[in-house]
Structure 1
């Protein structure tokens, strides 16, 4: 960058009586002239890389705002070099900082040297105080935010030990807040089947949902966002957990209502088709049979009688097939009662729940039994989704000489089967459905002990292949 009237300074620059440097408004060195300015970084480098100017970005910004001059008096340009005075001013016309370095005749002015020393110490103290104040404000703001938050907030190190937990986390776990420090993350929030993705969180924010139990043993679902705070944060992680139990329950209830609405619509359409077939095709065939028999009685032609007899047989066969089709149309679809498909759909929807399926082969259920078992399995799995917060589910269909037996087990929150459950009709509905079909439903559960539902259908029969 050419300097105005640069020739005036050339002699002083050559004799080491003056140093001149230019910084642009981004604090990048554009020009460095004279031996006295060799303390400054080379052209193209950040000016604040110089030891004298470290962490002084705020000072430069203030100088640009207020104008005037900033003086760094009596500093040593190098280990064994002379002391110099550095004067920095802002030129608004060229939008540059002009840095003039001159020898400091400290021997002649002791007081000025002492003042410079005090000024250096004052600048350093101000910088340290400002940095400490910023840290205190940031820490106070952080703690105020996380302590009053409804979400769970955890901070932990790479060893997964808790460094900080907010009040919401302590209330959820039912432990004193200061008693959580030092405990391991996996001990407080076990992650069976869906481990905490800390490796991924070290690169970008990781989000996932996890089942958990609160201090009262209530099953809950928490949606976690995990961030790595980086080296400036001590290499720690921060996790923010939001209780999404109600959201999941609403979603499942909506899916149940949609499923029931679709099933009802299909049933209505099947019934309409069955009625239409009965009112049209079946009546037409019956009418045709009656007319063919009436004609056969009135004719004496042997060939006509034989043809009418053949027509009668074919019509009766068609009538049987039409009635069979109507019966199949009225019946529920076989795939709706596929226990494997129902369990597989649950497993796909809740991949974080370990689902085991053990269904015996070679013993197909009768239609009524399959429909009952499918309805009970759907309701049992739906209850697990809504209330259990289970990590493991097992579905078993076994056959013995007494009949088929369906067992649905989970390791979830459990409940007291004898206690009233106002507003919840899942178990009651399963009992009523089983009783109407002549089957036996047994529910074994206790708070914190999981649930086991057994459906035994000997009373309604079953068929072997």
Structure 2
């Protein structure tokens, strides 16, 4: 078969616009032109030695017998070679196979797009792997910080079930750390009457204090900071609890000391006023009475003697009133002995404690009894505020012809009355007050079972 004129097609062959090869009827390569035909074996070699044509002898026989065209679309004969389309046809006149190779530009474009897509996927995968690695590092750092923290750290879902609790929370509650997952917040930290304000926490960071019991049943106060982690945090809440029991006790003790200091200052001022009245007004009246009586003895005028007698009576009345005023000034204020007012004052400070007052109608308390009951009630309520961590307190007062009875009861931490805590003298002080007044004081308590104080005073004979 004559080959095309190289002068006409040479430029196209050199540019790689097409390639041309001829196989004889025995599938021996007779010629190979152009770079695109380099996939074919050299002249004189069997055509089917080319990897592209391996085991295709039967296809060539069928093409020679039936005519037509055999196309191998979008193939690449080597990893570096271009993608081409190979068209093979049988020429009966020259008894040869004509093989035309053309560039497959569409296939090349597809390859480039696929390669670009693979690169993008690889970059995205690398970025995702890097983000996951950073997240793992951040999570490990977060857990390390949280696990070594002294504060209690909890994470829980909208259903209030614990998702995570750190070591400090597990130690406080006396549960295995893994065993806390799935438990409800309200079961671990019950908040009767002052529930966890999660609705407010979902809108903004929320801080509040609640009483709790540790693994040994001891009362404690925890200051909580609750933060909503948002949708990116799985809709969970994180709560950090700080033990403020000592701070609270110190604050209450300071308020008690300030209250006692104010009361002492008032008492001192009242005593000073009483002394001043006695040293000035009373002495002046006594002197005036003595002088009036002396003048009355020395005068013989009946009208003058009558006027002096009237002056003496009025002065003696004034002296009695002055001494009565001094006695009242020395005495304690009535409101200082008002048991209901004392209880209400404490209740105003306990927004999270339910207080019940049970004051039965009866005869008024004698002054000495009222003073004793007021002192014991104040001390008992101070002890509840400082140490008990109670949720409910009951104050009862009964008074009849046999005597008066005061009872203060709470559901707090309790204690062993036979082994009072070192440095706490409240119960001992109440016992001493009661003994000095001839009253009877009973204390019933046990760790974790609350406290009941009963004070009974007989009616004065």
* CA-CA distance at 1:103 after TM superposition: 18
Contact map agreement 1:156 1:162 (CA 8 A) in 2 = yes
- The verdict on how the C-alpha distance between 1:400 and 1:60 changes in structure 2, with shifts beyond 3 A counting, is farther
The residue matched to 1:27 in structure 2 has which SS?
coil
* CA-CA distance at 1:139 after TM superposition: 1.3
Q: Please, which runs of 5 or more residues in structure 2 have no aligned partner?
A: 456-460
Contact map agreement 2:18 2:34 (CA 8 A) in 1 = yes
Name the structure 1 match of 2:134. Answer: 134
Q: Which moved more, 1:437-446 or 1:27-36?
A: 27-36
* CA-CA distance at 1:230 after TM superposition: 1.2
Name the structure 1 match of 2:108. Answer: 108
- The verdict on how the C-alpha distance between 1:110 and 1:291 changes in structure 2, with shifts beyond 3 A counting, is closer
TM-superposition CA deviations, 1:159-192 (whole Å, max 9, x none): 1111110000001011111111111111110001
Name the structure 2 match of 1:361. Answer: 361
The residue matched to 2:420 in structure 1 has which SS?
coil
* CA-CA distance at 1:343 after TM superposition: 1.2
TM-superposition CA deviations, 1:309-344 (whole Å, max 9, x none): 111110110000000000000011111112122111
Contact map agreement 2:445 2:451 (CA 8 A) in 1 = yes
* CA-CA distance at 1:117 after TM superposition: 3.4
- The verdict on how the C-alpha distance between 1:2 and 1:275 changes in structure 2, with shifts beyond 3 A counting, is farther
Contact map agreement 2:74 2:107 (CA 8 A) in 1 = no
The residue matched to 2:107 in structure 1 has which SS?
coil
Contact map agreement 2:21 2:98 (CA 8 A) in 1 = yes
- The verdict on how the C-alpha distance between 1:409 and 1:71 changes in structure 2, with shifts beyond 3 A counting, is farther
Equivalences, count? 456
* CA-CA distance at 1:62 after TM superposition: 60
* CA-CA distance at 1:281 after TM superposition: 0.7
- The verdict on how the C-alpha distance between 1:100 and 1:341 changes in structure 2, with shifts beyond 3 A counting, is farther
Name the structure 2 match of 1:257. Answer: 257
| Alignment of 1:409 onto 2:409 | yes
Contact map agreement 2:225 2:240 (CA 8 A) in 1 = yes
Q: Which moved more, 1:34-43 or 1:300-309?
A: 34-43
Find the aligned partners of 1:92 and 1:368 in 2 and give their Cα distance: 141
Find the aligned partners of 1:45 and 1:258 in 2 and give their Cα distance: 115
When the two chains are superposed, the root-mean-square deviation of aligned CA atoms in Å is 18.8
Q: Which moved more, 1:373-382 or 1:321-330?
A: 373-382
- The verdict on how the C-alpha distance between 1:224 and 1:44 changes in structure 2, with shifts beyond 3 A counting, is farther
Contact map agreement 1:154 1:239 (CA 8 A) in 2 = yes
* CA-CA distance at 1:131 after TM superposition: 2.3
TM-score computed with the length of structure 1 as normaliser:
0.74
Q: Which moved more, 1:429-438 or 1:26-35?
A: 26-35
TM-superposition CA deviations, 1:125-184 (whole Å, max 9, x none): 112212211221221122111101110011111111111100000010111111111111
Contact map agreement 2:362 2:399 (CA 8 A) in 1 = no
The residue matched to 1:279 in structure 2 has which SS?
helix
* CA-CA distance at 1:107 after TM superposition: 2.3
- The verdict on how the C-alpha distance between 1:165 and 1:296 changes in structure 2, with shifts beyond 3 A counting, is same
Find the aligned partners of 2:27 and 2:277 in 1 and give their Cα distance: 88
TM-superposition CA deviations, 1:271-330 (whole Å, max 9, x none): 111111111111111111111111112222111111111111101100000000000000
Contact map agreement 2:52 2:77 (CA 8 A) in 1 = no
TM-superposition CA deviations, 1:380-430 (whole Å, max 9, x none): 111011110000001111123321111110000001101142211011111
* CA-CA distance at 1:364 after TM superposition: 2.1
TM-superposition CA deviations, 1:189-233 (whole Å, max 9, x none): 000110011111111112111111111111100011111111111
Contact map agreement 1:415 1:445 (CA 8 A) in 2 = yes
Q: Which moved more, 1:75-84 or 1:344-353?
A: 75-84
The residue matched to 2:242 in structure 1 has which SS?
strand
Contact map agreement 2:361 2:398 (CA 8 A) in 1 = no
Find the aligned partners of 2:27 and 2:393 in 1 and give their Cα distance: 63
- The verdict on how the C-alpha distance between 1:188 and 1:305 changes in structure 2, with shifts beyond 3 A counting, is same
Q: Please, which runs of 5 or more residues in structure 1 have no aligned partner?
A: 456-464
Contact map agreement 2:153 2:165 (CA 8 A) in 1 = yes
